Amino acid sequence: MKKTTIRLADGRELIYYDSRDDVDRAAPDRRPLPKVATASEIRRDPLLGDHVAIASHRQDRTYLPPADACPLCPSREGRPSEIPAADYDVAVFENRFPSLAGDSGRCEVVCFTPDHDASFADLTEEQAALVLAAWTDRTAALQRLPQVAQVFCFENRGAEIGVTLGHPHGQIYAYPFTTPRTARMLASLTAHREATGANLFDETVARERADGTRIVLDTDHWTAFVPYAAHWPYEVHLYPRRRVPDLTALDDAARTEFPQVYLELLRRFDRIFGEGDGQGPDADAAARTPYIAAWHQAPVRADDRAQFALHLELFTIRRTAGKLKFLAGSESGMNVFINDVPPEAAAQRLREVATK
């Protein structure tokens, strides 16, 4: 992997990750951009104890531009973009409209491919491995920043999820605090260890593998299953067989096998609702299942960091063909989820739609 770092016209950092060493990424950003001005502020809710990012400047962010004006495509003559090069493999840059900035953290955009009409599921295994390498490298770099407490790599896909750019991409948030969801996991982890002496993550994965009814994929180095108490209609948790706290700690065997496993999961997601395989540049975008893919990593300075288990949670808000799962009164008001699809049925469906 070759890594090249440049600065955009407004001073933001952009990093190219290439599979070949002979590429030239010296093309400058010639856009007349003003210096980025953000108004991000972190406020703490005294009743719930969680944090809210106030970021009014995001009201002006780019919203669903036409393909010929996409800021994540490579630059063309007369059509400059966020990426000055005429082509790229994977590119990561500081978000122009960040939710977190400065002492409040950092937000980055990860462009998976220069192909505007593709999806992560369309990547080759080599391309997916390069994205994993970029996630890992950025996790390591962001964890070294003194203001960062937790690094979160994720992808939102589909208009139903609320994406503002159609180009295949993800994001990385570097929070200045431990997120509420992770804090709850850590509390459960600690309570279980004090009560039993065992690791709750290890026992959860072992229990799913022993039961088998919710297993979707089980390989030499990864296990994917629908959790017993899944919140979402179709939700899969993907764990490496060897427990590690974050992406930087994955061994070579797990890294090598990850692209095959993850691409298989994504392609199965695109077959859940019987709308075609959802693959290829000519595929109808409506056939692609909207999803969120979220890497859960240990907080940077947690006391029991080594007890945390890196895992990816992949879920869709679509509950059946043409129908979405809305977070209404119970979910939004009380954070009590009601799932219309039994986890065992979801797992069975995901096993049935194995890609050819």
For the annotated catalytic residues, the residue numbers are 169
Reduce the DSSP state of residue 220 to 3 states and report it: coil
Regarding beta strands 291-296 and 311-316, do their DSSP bridges make them parallel or antiparallel, or are they unpaired? Answer: antiparallel
Contact 96, 14 (CB under 8 A): no
Strand 311-316, strand 323-324: pairing:
unpaired
**Beta carbons of 9 and 27 less than 8 angstroms apart:** no
Give the whole-angstrom CA distance, residue 221 versus residue 226.
17
Alpha carbons 267 and 123: distance in angstroms, whole number: 11
Query: For residues 62 and 253, what is the distance between their CA atoms, to the nearest angstrom?
Result: 40
Which are the contacts of 170, defined by CB distance < 8 A and separation ≥ 6?
A: 109, 110, 112, 153, 154, 155, 156, 293
Distance CA 207, CA 223 (A): 12
Please give the structure tokens belonging to residue 248: 């930087």
Whole-number Å distance between alpha carbons of 258 and 87: 25
**Cβ proximity of 92 and 136 under 8 Å:** no
For residue 211, what is the DSSP state? Answer: H
Q: How long is the chain?
A: 356
For residue 3, give the H/E element and its range: strand 2-7
